[in-house]
Chain A
Amino acid sequence: MEVVFAIAIGVLVGSGVWLALRPRTFQVLMGLTLLSYATNLFIFGMGRLKIGRAPIIAEAGPDAALYADPLPQALVLTAIVIGFGTTALLLVLLLALRALSGTDHVDGRDEGSEARRRATRARAGMPVLAQRTDAGMDAGGRATQARAGMPAVEQRREQLPGAVAGEGH
């Protein structure tokens, strides 16, 4: 029983950590959610896993072996509530960052995709515009050239030599 529990927590933590290190904000959110599930299960498991025992003392008397430990369950409830609140705030921030910066990259700027776009345009021999603040990059980049370029308030970036293998996300 404990082995299954431990493996489950391990899988959740592994997936959560992998997701939390991704560059997209929604993946980070899901990663943190999985991590909080794992943590809550861990706290619950610290009360020793017992099958079919209630945490409420009944008329059977104060024999500790008959009950599940109620304190970790209370801790888990508190942790769930706090985690729920912060996850909601994280979601709102995620949406606000998407609205303000035009991309859902965690840094607010999507450099790998920009590099791909510049490389594509350089290969095609077309002039490279200034930094775009609009998201919605597709792989080719040609279809988005029709969009009006943003006024170049910053200096032009250097063109990347040759074909740059954009880092896969």
Chain B
Amino acid sequence: MLLLTEARRAARTALALLSSAIQLAVALTLLYLTSEAAWFIWPEGIGVYSLGDWPAPFGIVLVADRLAAVMLTLQAVLGLAVLVYSIARWDRPGQPFHTLLQALMMGVNGAFLTGDLFNLFVFVEILLAASYGLMLRGVGATRVGMGLHYLVVNIMASLLFLIGVAMIYGVAGTLNMADLASRFTGLSPDARALFDTGAGILGVAFLIKAGSWPLNFWLPGTYSAAVAPVGAAFAMLTKVGVYALLRVGTLMSEDEAAASMLGVMMFYFGLATLIAGTVGMIASHHLARLVSHSLVASTGILLAALGLGLEALTAPVLFYLIVSVLTTGIFFMVTGMTDRTRSVPSAAQPVEPPTPQAPFYTAFGVREPDPYGTDEEIGVAIPRAIVFLGLMFVSCVLLVTGLPPLPGFIAKFALLSTAIAAAPLAGLEPAAWTLATAVLVSGFAGVVALTRAGIRLFWTVTARTTPRLRVLEAAPVFFLVMLCIALGTAASPIMSYLERTAASLHEPQDYIRIVLAPGGAVVEAAP
């Protein structure tokens, strides 16, 4: 795609669409292959691909298990929606969007599939490099300033990642995740202390990427300074950090119950992140910042739930993860459309190429109101665009705050009910009740903040223009909302699939055995 010059825009767009469609097809295939329906191909539901056909501890392996398949499908769906949304007006000469988006998706897909710690670092760097380029798109002073902060913070996080990986390698002698899992119990106490230190540093790097509280001050500024489709594409990036914590944590846990890599601290970090995100939501005036803070709050819920260390919580966490990624994507795309209702560009918004004032009255078939006319109007004519945007906004509010009937409610309910039910067995009742209280309070605060934003956007009709929406922009948002409704309707089979996913996560022996097996389920490299 880089080779196609700017004049061949249609070819580039077609290539991007084809690539995303193929990614979606492959992800769905993997979803099928890792489930029990395809037992004849992969008996355990875990597929291993050795790069260069080198056996596991020496070569890099790509492992597709159920969790990876779920995350891949999520990313493919989100990527395709963002791509279609961006075709409307975001691919311009000199500011490549499709190329960087494909690179971003490559990094995310690789990060989900890899079975090697340093390979995880490389894929995360790929996706970060693409995200720098995407975030800086449409250069303006605010955006460049935020981009500088984003870049510096992520360089520091990468350095911490490297230090953690180096310590783990120096102590254990291997970087393959399955091999590490089989080796780390046999370490001497001194070596084990170093290993724990390395794992802690690695965990801090993952927390920075996930946007946990003391380390996430870069997140709201960066995500709100980026343009709308970029924000929607970034919805997945923090979840890569959460995925890494989950993957490394479940592989390296000695007893089956502890699913958290950083121990009890992850619960406190998660709570602090949730509170910080909630406070940020109430304090935000601009909708993009509000959405960024809601992303922080959802990440906080995920981290706190994972930090409780209850095995039964992993499946609701995954369901909530899916819902929150889709929600954030939808919300950022809606933000992009509602920003065009602004009739005066505000100082806080980075300078965008000016949208021509649309002749909205004639475009929507409403008679231009005659200023000297005497015909009485019974009601206010609401243009179709505003109706659509309002409905999408209301769906986002329901999803973010967890109100019925959309799956935000189902996800939060599953999370809280499982936490409260499973906590007494592990003596974690105060923690579970604290989490439940925090989640419910943040939901209430989210309702307050989002309702205020919605009233300002849709009900105060002064100084607002009606945006012209193209089908290419509206269709992905509509499709994603329909997908969320379908998720909510089909929640039961999805939850049972996720429960099987969580069960396979908490028994890493299968994963370890299949990855390290010399001949067993290894897929031969294509000749």
Contacts and interface: CB of A to CB of B under 8 A. Distances in A.
A93 B148 contact: yes
A46 B129 contact: no
A28 B141 contact: no
Interface in A13-37: 20, 25, 28, 32, 35-36
B166 A43 contact: yes
B155 A42 contact: no
A107 B155 contact: no
A106 B148 contact: yes
B523 interface: no
Contact of A85 (B129, B139, B148): B129
A83 to B, nearest CB: 8
Contact of B136 (A47, A93, A106): A93
Contacts of B158: 82-83, 86
A119 interface: no
Interface in A46-99: 46-48, 71-72, 75, 78-79, 82-83, 85-87, 89-90, 93-94, 96-97
Contact of B163 (A25, A39, A48): A39
B95 to A, nearest CB: 14
Contacts of B283: none
Contact of B132 (A35, A89, A106): A89
B162 A79 contact: yes
B148 A25 contact: yes
A86 B132 CA distance: 9
Interface string B104-140: 0000000000000010001001001100100010011
B148 A97 contact: yes
Nearest to B128: A86
A89 B165 CA distance: 24
| Chain B contact surface mostly | helix
Given A72-B169, A89-B132, A96 B162 contact: no
A101 interface: yes
A32 B144 contact: no
Contact of A39 (B141, B147, B159): B159
A108 interface: yes
B148 A75 contact: no
B152 A28 contact: yes
Given A90-B148, A108-B145, A75 B155 contact: no
| Chain A contact surface mostly | helix
Given A42-B163, A46-B170, A82-B158, A97 B145 contact: yes
Range of interface residues on B (Cβ < 8 Å): 20 to 34
Given A82-B125, A100-B144, A90 B139 contact: no
A25 B144 CA distance: 12
Given A46-B170, A78-B122, A82-B125, A100 B141 contact: yes
B151 A90 contact: yes
Nearest to A98: B144
Nearest to B140: A100
Contact of B155 (A46, A86, A96): A86
Contacts of B125: 82, 86
Contact of B144 (A48, A82, A97): A97
Interface in B60-119: 118
B139 A71 contact: no
B69 to A, nearest CB: 28
A43 to B, nearest CB: 4
A113 to B, nearest CB: 17
A32 B118 contact: no
A41 to B, nearest CB: 10
Contacts of A43: 162-163, 165-166
B382 interface: no
A60 B407 CA distance: 65
B156 interface: yes
B414 interface: no
A81 to B, nearest CB: 10
Q: Which of B128, B129, B151, B154 has the most CB of A within 10 A?
A: B151
Contact of B166 (A46, A82, A87, A90): A46
Contacts of B162: 39, 42-43, 75, 79
Given A78-B118, A86-B129, A93 B169 contact: no
A153 B162 CA distance: 47
A85 B129 CA distance: 9
A96 B118 contact: no
Given A43-B166, A82-B125, A94-B148, A75 B139 contact: no
A42 B167 CA distance: 9
Interface string B165-204: 1110110000100000000000000000000000000000
A9 B220 CA distance: 34
Contacts of A47: 170
Contacts of A90: 148, 151-152, 155
A71 B169 contact: yes
Contacts of A86: 125, 128-129, 132, 151, 154-155, 158
Contact of A96 (B139, B149, B163): B139
Interface of B: 118, 122, 125, 128-129, 132, 136, 139-142, 144-145, 147-149, 151-152, 154-156, 158-159, 162-163, 165-167, 169-170, 175
Q: Which 5 A-B pairs have the closest CB atoms?
A: A46-B170, A100-B141, A43-B166, A108-B145, A46-B166
14 contacts: A39-B162, A42-B166, A48-B170, A71-B175, A75-B169, A85-B129, A86-B128, A86-B129, A89-B129, A90-B148, A90-B155, A97-B148, A100-B141, A106-B148
Given A42-B166, A75-B118, 5 more contacts: A32-B152, A39-B162, A39-B166, A42-B163, A100-B140
